[in-house]
Amino acid sequence: MTTTAGKKSGRPKVRAERIDTKCGYIGHMTVDEIKSRSFGEHVNVACPECGKIHLTVEETEEAEAATLRKNKRYAKIKADAEG
C-alpha cells in the first residue's frame, strides 16, 4: 500500500542504539535497561558510564550521586558556598 506521497505505509519502524560507545552522555544504566536497548546474541551488560554492573535503579542513582560528588567542579562549588 502506498500513500499519496508515494511512500509505503505500514512498514515497521526500527530503532537501534549503540550503548557500548561513549559519544555522548547516556548515564548509568541497569542490566535490564541495557538489554532493552541492545540487540544481538551477545550483550555486554556493563554500565557504559562507569563499567560496573548495576542490577537495580537504586544502584544507578547511587553511582550518579557518587560521580557528582567526586569531581573537581563539585568541590569548587561546595568550597565557594561554604566559604
Could you read off the pLDDT of 3-45 as tens digits, one per residue? 555 566 677 766 666 555 555 567 788 888 888 877 777 888 8
Query: What residues make up the domain containing 70?
Result: 31-82
Q: Tens digits of per-residue pLDDT, 67-78?
A: 666 778 778 888
Other Cβ atoms less than 10 A from the Cβ of 31: the count is: 16
Please give the tally of structural domains in the chain. Answer: 1
> Does a structural domain hold residue 3?
no
User: Which alpha helices (DSSP H) does the chain contain, by range?
Assistant: 31-37, 57-69, 72-82
Residue 49's pLDDT is what?
Answer: 79
Residue 15's pLDDT is what?
Answer: 62
Residue 27's pLDDT is what?
Answer: 77
* CA distances to 27, 54, 75 from 70, in Å: 16, 19, 8
> Does a structural domain hold residue 18?
no
> Does a structural domain hold residue 62?
yes
> Does a structural domain hold residue 12?
no
The residue whose grid cell reads 542490566 is 31
Q: How far apart are CA 76 and CA 23, in angstroms?
A: 27
Q: Tens digits of per-residue pLDDT, 35-68?
A: 887 777 788 888 877 888 889 999 988 888 876 6
